[in-house]
Every structure is written in structure tokens, then in C-alpha cells.
Structure 1
């Protein structure tokens, strides 16, 4: 294996595997002897990579900005292009812009042959643009609440056109060509609810964190869905 390819595989392993990663595991991932692995770690460090750890303790990648660009297989490039190309049918404007920006940043780190692969990808997503009603509220605020695990106070118009006010614990967003949905635990109903984002009339953060409860709520929701899917049809 060429030296550059070997070092790139080592970098990829350091990025992917839970740290600290033992030298034996890294040697297995890269297909080299432990002695060669130690030399490759030293080479990466000399090239500017900040790699914490030592033999017997394992290694942790702290920073790799000074290293050669990342490499992707042709199929990985096709998958990235296809995923970004499909977003206009299911994502909102902010998500589409973020995906295109991310793809541009990835392209800027690729070797020239792989940039050409990206530009001339054979995988394309075709189909009509989304026709769903777009939300009128700030979706960035909802996303931040999901990430930060903060409760939201919302005013919501249900499918019977009744307006209610609720406090929810937002757990995640679901996107499709026809709808953008928010999964949350509703404190008013004391149960899981899926809200149509275009029916949320107003939203604001309460400042109350639900972080200690999030993992349990997600586990309970997955268990409930599995139970429902396994139930025989009526």
C-alpha cells in the first residue's frame, strides 16, 4: 500500500473509531504491523496532526487541519451528491443551503480527480419539488431546541382547526415531500405527539431544559412504535 494511502486510512480510523483507540486496533484497521503503526503516528504528528496518547494507552485525534485532504470512494461521492440533490424535495430552505455549503466545503478538501467525480456524478435525484405548506414559524429555533434539549411553548392548530397552547419537549424532526413533522412529548396530553410544522402558529423557548429525560423519552417512543408495528391488524 502506498504511504499516502496508508496515512489517509490511519487518519480515517482515528476520526471514526471511539477514542482512545489502541495501537493494535489501528494496526488492524490499516493493515500494518504495530511497529509500522507507531512510525505512521509519528509521521502524522510531524505533519501537524495533534494526536494525544501513546503505546499502551491508546490514541485520540485532537486536530487534523494541517493534514492532507480527506479521500472518499467513488460510491461515497455518489451517495453524498444524491443525498444533497434529493433535499429540495424534502428539506426546507435553510437545510438545503446548509447541505450545499457542506458539499462545497467537502469538495474543497478533495484531490482533483475526486472533485471531477463529484462534478460529473452519475447519480441524480429527479422528481417534482415539494408542494407542502411551509412553516411560518422560525424552524431554526425549533432545531436549536431539539439540539439543546429545551422545552418549547407553542400555539398549535390541530387537524380539526382547533387552537391550543402547549408546552412540549421536542425530540426530532421528520421530513418528506408532503410534510414536515415535529416529534415531541406533550406536557398537556402527557403523551407523544407528532405536530405538523406548518400548523404551529407560534413558538418560543421556555428556558426549561429536559435533558435528564430525553434518552428515556426516545427509548419509550421507539418501544411504543415497535409494539404498534408488531400488533396484528384489527
Structure 2
């Protein structure tokens, strides 16, 4: 790998995470020595790249840093198309349409020599032949998550028992055949996960729950990390 390409890749690695990245991690991914990483990062800082940190503690790229758009590499094209194919098969109607539109836009944007990576991919997402039916409008749910508004639901659990809940939606999780809505439940005063196909009815309230969506997400992540002993991205 040319040094210029390696320095660009350092920027790419730093921009995909908010946590400090150590020189050892950079060296392992780039398959170079830590000494080379130290030299490259020093040169990037000298060229006014907004990288904070130092050897031993890790490096962080300022969130407001931006670079002009560059052409996708073949692996990036296949990764983007694979993800879009998966969403097209398993997402709700609005997301599925957006995923198919994304594939068409990528195909139109890349040069002719790269289009076989889309038309004749080496990887693919399997078809989802038995999707569960959602009990609420998923596109509107995503809008309510971003707006920090409450949803009142009637939920039927695995024992076929109904309950009324007022929830603060946090994030929608996509599994193979079902979707899960993570939310703060006012009834239980804790985070809960609701299968969307078990939601019998939903009322989208204008009332805001008062927590910033980003803060609520952080609280949910901390709960999951503590409960499952894993670190979420």
C-alpha cells in the first residue's frame, strides 16, 4: 500500500468510530509497524488533520472533519450493496424501497468498470420468505424516535396476554423474520424489547418524553452492556 493511501485509510479508520484508536490497532489493520503509524499520524497532524491524542492513549478524529467524496473501492461497493439487499428483503416498506433506490444510485454513480460488482456480485443476502407483519407504522416509529415522542401500545406477549404500555422508543432492531422495538416502558420503569408483530394497536402521541434521543440511546446501550457483558458500537 502506498503511503498516501495508508494515510487516507488512517483517516477512514478514525472517522468510523468515536472511541480512541490505538496505534497498535491501526498497525494491525494496516499491516504495518506502530512506528510507521506514529510517523503517518504525525504527518497528518502536521497537514492540519484534526486528530487528537498521542502514542499510548489512542487517536480520535474531530467529528466536524470532512473530506470531499471519493470513488468507492470494489469491496466498499459490495459491502454497500449487500447491506442494501438485506434491508430490501427485511426492512419495512419504506426502508425496502429506499434500499433498492440506493442500489440504483450506486450503480449510476460508479464508472462502467465497477458496475459488474453490482450486476454480478460475489455475495448476496438470502430472500426472506416469511416476514412477520408489523403491528405499527415503522416509518412513523422512526420519526417518533428522532423527535423524542411517546407511543401508547397494546402488546400481546408470548402467553397471549394483553397489556397497555406507554413507551419511549429508542431503536428498532432487525432480525431474520421479526423486528424488535427497544423502548423505555413507563409501566415497568425500565427498558423493554417489544416484538413489533405482537403489537396489537399503537397510538402515536404528540407528547415528548423529555429525554434527548441520543441520551436515551446511551442509557439503553449501558443497560445492554451491563446485562449481556458485551460492548456495543
For the aligned pair, the TM-score class normalised by the smaller chain equals: 0.5 to 0.7
Which residue pairs with 2:183 in the alignment? 184
Indicate how the Cα distance of structure 1 residues 15 and 213 shifts in structure 2: closer, same or farther if over 3 A, else same.
Answer: closer
Whole-angstrom CA distance in 2 between matches of 1:17 and 1:222: 18
Matches within 5 A, 1:165-180: 166-180=165-179
Q: CA deviation at 1:111?
A: 4.3
Matches within 5 A, 1:63-74: 63-65=66-68, 68-73=70-75
Q: CA deviation at 1:18?
A: 5.6
Over aligned residue pairs, what C-alpha RMSD do you find? 4.3
The size of the alignment, in residue pairs, is 212
> Which of 150, 153, 160 is the matching residue for 2:151?
153
Conserved 8 A contact 2:151-2:204: yes
Whole-angstrom CA distance in 2 between matches of 1:15 and 1:210: 27
Whole-angstrom CA distance in 1 between matches of 2:180 and 2:133: 12
Which residue pairs with 2:143 in the alignment? 144
Cα offsets for 1:149-191 (capped at 9, x unmatched): x241313142335352x32122221223432221212111223
Matches within 5 A, 1:55-204: 62-65=65-68, 68-73=70-75, 76-135=76-135, 137-148=136-147, 150-159=148-157, 160=160, 162=162, 164=164, 166-198=165-197, 199-204=200-205
Conserved 8 A contact 2:174-2:180: yes
Q: Secondary structure at the match of 1:192?
A: strand
Whole-angstrom CA distance in 2 between matches of 1:20 and 1:163: 44
Whole-angstrom CA distance in 2 between matches of 1:84 and 1:214: 24
Whole-angstrom CA distance in 2 between matches of 1:152 and 1:190: 14
Whole-angstrom CA distance in 2 between matches of 1:9 and 1:184: 37
Cα offsets for 1:53-80 (capped at 9, x unmatched): 8xx9x97574333x5423243xx43333
Gaps of 5+ in 1: 46-50, 228-234
Conserved 8 A contact 2:167-2:184: yes
The TM-score normalised by the length of structure 2 is: 0.64
Conserved 8 A contact 1:175-1:181: yes
Indicate how the Cα distance of structure 1 residues 219 and 4 shifts in structure 2: closer, same or farther if over 3 A, else same.
Answer: closer
7-16 or 83-92, larger mean C-alpha shift:
7-16
Indicate how the Cα distance of structure 1 residues 17 and 170 shifts in structure 2: closer, same or farther if over 3 A, else same.
Answer: closer
> Which of 219, 223, 227 is the matching residue for 1:224?
227
Conserved 8 A contact 2:128-2:177: no
* Larger CA Rg, structure 1 vs 2: 1
Which residue pairs with 1:208 in the alignment? 209
